[in-house]
Structure 1
């Protein structure tokens, strides 16, 4: 009898089911109490026989709560196969099945997310939003599973469904990894872009090895995607762990929740003393962005200065001229490849080369300091590099006006003089304001350091932050 029932479930044959029930009205009840590993509902759910499933649920809805030898309910199987209408029928019987984990520690939502069944994921979350907060045996959220199996579309659906749930987005698995750690380790560029743009993921969170997402990228085997990933992370303020001074001690994972225990109840348990605080680095993002900006601007100035040095205003001589047609030495000889400006206006050429060289060397100094690997990561060093950058920019401005004056004909010298005077005056005012502002800030810092001005209190326990100790 059980064999005929299993065959009917595989074929989706409702007529055979009714015949069997006429022969034995207690057949489905015997299936529930017997030691059979799979019920007819498991078989039909796995094969997608919607009509047969509806008939079984109308006759014996208790079958929806039965589990096979792997601890999976019919909802697990239907979710894994992506049978949306079948999932809806099972949820009508018992929505709480969304919260049940199988022997692998996974709920129907976990299974659907791993398999990339986006429509099923959306339906499960719609019916039971709390299912997003159930953890696996490794303390993974459904977001971890989506990223781990490269299911970007499912991840997008879940992020939209959970809204601004920073706690869930920044949850760490048993290894302390956030979803960003996993995305970076698997070099998932589109997932990384999505997480940085659409979520509040902590880019500088540390795992149990003390590594940030940026550290994982640096330590992994290099490939062509690394440069793009590094650019995205840098743009979001990502730093290496050695550049971060944590304000609070990093979280250590606690016991994984039991079968249907959700993330919410787990967090309640942690309040007694093992609460996982979110690490905040108050100035690291600012310093990281400043470091990136300095590198970009310095590179541009170095490029412009290098090009200007090779091709000064007026260009270079294209031929040698040392003797005339009769073989006599000429009055003003020149050699091919030398600057025309050096012969026609020696003083201006000297000024041009001096200021252009200052801009070139100053910008190269910034680049060298940033890439040297020396421990020059404190905030004061950042200000020193900014001062060097002011010098480079100012020298570049002077170089520009020297070039402009040399290339302009005499009939526009009056207009050029006015434009130059106004521009230089504006530039000097701007530089003065920046210099005065930073001088005031430096003086305030010195006064605070030596106790003449009281430090502002920071609302973080066991953490003192001052400019002398901050690292990028």
Structure 2
């Protein structure tokens, strides 16, 4: 027997089940609309069309749940009986359009806007003042944003935080979707909140709400003009916060990379230790070239590289720093140990090659060339990194010297410049690595 037939028989026997709610306030119609059971939905609505207006604990009706899941057939069934249910809102002031956009149900949005023509809901804000365009830009839903702009929605509506849709998308411009959304908004006439004219009494629009406490709340559709200096400081603060976030993410990635490299070194040195160069005696199990000096150098370097790398892994896995400065200190120590481990690994490899190469006439020069090539290449890498590290330390020293000079009372800078420097440093935290490497975009440790 089909599920719809079972539900039909249950409703004929116990109709009161249709109004029963679970702990979340969901009726059978809520669940049916969420799961997309069209036949069951029809049976329940046939019993009582007003079931479509019953809200759950969050104020969401069956229509809202159908919109969240993108059930277009369910939406059509409900609105064919009661078009007014499309205007019902949740306890957060969300309309059916808010829920479809928030859950990226593009086809459901097209159906609601084109088939049912409920465009009057397009510019309606929720309790936070967000229109559906705010939600689409916050979610970086490029296709959704372009579609809403074609419908002519208000591109300069302001939410309770004082942000327009352009402010919302520019607050996180790192996402690739923002590269397409920003030009589309600007082409449609979108502006940032500081670029809009001052608010006037006629620009106040009330926000409807299902709760009686906030029924009289209102939201300005124009924010007061922000001073150029304050806007400049705000943009600089955002830029700095983004730089610090990128640096912190880079430190986390460096920590993961060091762990991976240390594990690889431990794996290679362990394998080389139990399978030494030159082979071993099948009877005694002793190395055939164990008396050679080069083999002894190999074993010492291999063992040191193995246990240094194991120490790095244990150290990084056991300590989880929560501050950027602590993370930096941890990476400085483990980074130095890692390079030391890599150096011993390179030395072990060179010693192993020297051990297994033949000693005939002319082969001495070949062995010397191989050792010189490997050692020279490693030395060149260390020298290049040393030069870069020295330049970084020099930039940090110059940056700190300039900072102390600007703070010095005997400085020759004007009082205006001194006050400007004090204002700048009052709300920005010190970060010598970040500030001294602003032009290069990277720093060493």
The normalised TM-score by structure 1 is: 0.44
Instruction: State the structure with bigger RCO (CA 8 A, min sep 6), 1 or 2.
Output: 1
The normalised TM-score by structure 2 is: 0.46
